[in-house]
Amino acid sequence: MKNFNEAINSAKKANNARTWKELCMACVEATEYKLAAVAGMNIIVHHDHLEEIIVQYEEYGVAEEMISLLETGMGLERAHVGIFTELGVLYAKYAPGKLLEHIR
């Protein structure tokens, strides 16, 4: 398919967690990180899908993109405590300098 902008519009209409997750993973695979973030913002609020998305980003070696997504997601009205926890874990693995600031 590779028409990710149209896929984002379709996902908005569907507004389904599975659709957002699949789109996010496809965008990461295609190195379309800005579009992956759009999709990801709709999935990271669902804790049961959050770990899968993190694993995907790590497998593709772009944990810094996941960190950025979670940092942005902390400001969401629907943000849950899992976002903060997972961000702390990612900081510990990939950006230890940010961890102390995060836990304060």
Concatenating the DSSP letter of every residue in 44-104 gives TTSHHHHHHHHHHHHHTT-HHHHHHHHHHHTTSTT--HHHHHHHHHHHHHH-HHHHHHHH-
pLDDT digit string, tens, across residues 9-40 = 999 999 899 999 999 999 999 999 999 999 99
pLDDT digit string, tens, across residues 84-94 = 999 999 999 99
DSSP code for 16: -
Q: What is the pLDDT of residue 104?
A: 81
End-to-end CA distance of the chain: 44
Concatenating the DSSP letter of every residue in 27-45 gives HHHTT-HHHHHHHHHHHTT
pLDDT band at residue 77 using 50, 70 and 90 as cut-offs: confident
pTM (whole model) above 0.85: yes
